[in-house]
Structure 1
């Protein structure tokens, strides 16, 4: 025989059980696992760019200090397919690019197989085409804006051409203020296909490069720390051009 206390316990348990049949039990909250993001890198082509910049600088640190963000090689190839304009910060940057293109064409290192039934014939030499390169500092309104806002002519030129920067390649080898300006324009919707940011220095140069790495969806190749310069930027672009031509 059950005592009164035991009966009360059984009744209580039965009542609780009956209630549980009619009232849905709250599901335990599952802890959300952080999503795993895996950014795909074209390591072969990125290593080619690293090698080109290292060779032109003679500094092995370039290989580890180059930063590739948001599939920049693919972005460059898309820009070349669309015959995009290349905007640079200074006449020196433009001259360095043209000089590097001429140097590579003189070497005749780029070869393109004909394939198919012609595969047994000698390969066809492919030279790099000279793209449209515009120095923003040379824009007629750049000097006016430079004086009005007390900024560099390169930064002023990008301010004037902010709507044209979209769907272009931007290369900055010296002017860190211009690089920062382009980054701010990108945040506000003037997003280029690709930015090559290579100003060298120990002060705002580092800040401007770090700033661009924080902008989402911005394809970028830059140098961490203090290194960079127009020659490295030119070598980077020309190697990307070679990759594109070899793939045609």
Structure 2
């Protein structure tokens, strides 16, 4: 009963009993159909939610974690780290009540006047200009960076890290055809924690799913509390 009350009060869980039952059953189905895997107890809840969000079991084989990536993300969230994203879709998809648990601010810069002006002046993409602006303002330091749309954002971020920027965690999940694979490989060679979807597949939906999974783990003390996991 205490666990049920806690879940009702915890915004990372569904608000109603019926909603929780549907989510738990969805997770159970994913666990059953996914079968054995090599992910850790902290990694699997993230991959499972990504599969849950897309109904695509290929993410079981495409998702990669650097050592201690989840732990780094959880610690950053609990310390109130900002979440810097490459697309408004990610910002819109994140639940405000869940973000409020630890006071995590979501920052999306593509429409910022200085970013737009920089892109127009240089002829580059707004994504590249957004990373340059974030680096200059110190917004990358200790941040969780979510990239679900623009490989140019991820490539620019990789160059910023090579210059010394140190985000707490990078979710490298852009989708597309041009420079997508190269951008993800560049990230995986860097000395920062990362979670990546290999190949061309990815998207803002996956970043939102991964962040919600991280927020739930952080709120639950780093433990997968779903009934599906315990069965």
Shorter-chain TM-score tier: 0.7 to 0.9
| 1:167 aligns with one of 142, 145, 148 | 142
What are the equivalent positions in structure 2 for 1:130-145 lying under 5 Å apart? 131-145=104-118
Counterpart of 1:52? Answer: 49
Report deviation, 1:101: 5.2
* 1:182 equivalent in alignment to 2:179: no
Flag structure 2 segments of 5+ consecutive residues without an equivalent: 1-37, 223-231
Shift >4 Å, 4+ stretches: 99-102, 127-130
Report what 2:66 is aligned to.
Answer: 69
Q: Aligned-pair RMSD on alpha carbons?
A: 2.1
Q: 2:29: which partner in 1? A: none
Count of residues in Structure 1 that have an aligned counterpart in Structure 2: 183
Q: Contact 1:56/1:231 (CA < 8 Å) preserved in 2? A: yes
**Which residues of 2 match residues 1-248 of structure 1 at below 5 A?**
43-98=40-95, 131-162=104-135, 163-215=138-190, 217-247=191-221
CA deviation after TM superposition for structure 1 residue 153, in Å = 1.4
Partners in 2 of 1:152 and 1:97 — Cα distance?
24
Instruction: Report the Cα offset of residue 99 of structure 1.
Output: 7.9
Is the deviation greater in 84-93 or in 236-245?
84-93
SS at the partner of 2:42?
helix
Q: Any stretches of 5+ residues in structure 1 without a counterpart?
A: 1-40, 103-126
Tell me, in whole angstroms, the C-alpha distance in 1 between the residues paired with 2:144 and 2:196. 13
Shift of 1:166: 0.9
In structure 1, the partner of 2:3 is: none
Structure exhibiting the larger radius of gyration computed from Cα positions = 1
TM-score by length of 2: 0.74
Question: Are the aligned partners of 1:100 and 1:235 in contact in 2 as well (CA < 8 Å)?
Answer: no
| Secondary structure, aligned partner of 2:142 | coil
Counterpart contact for 1:173–1:233, Cα < 8 Å: yes
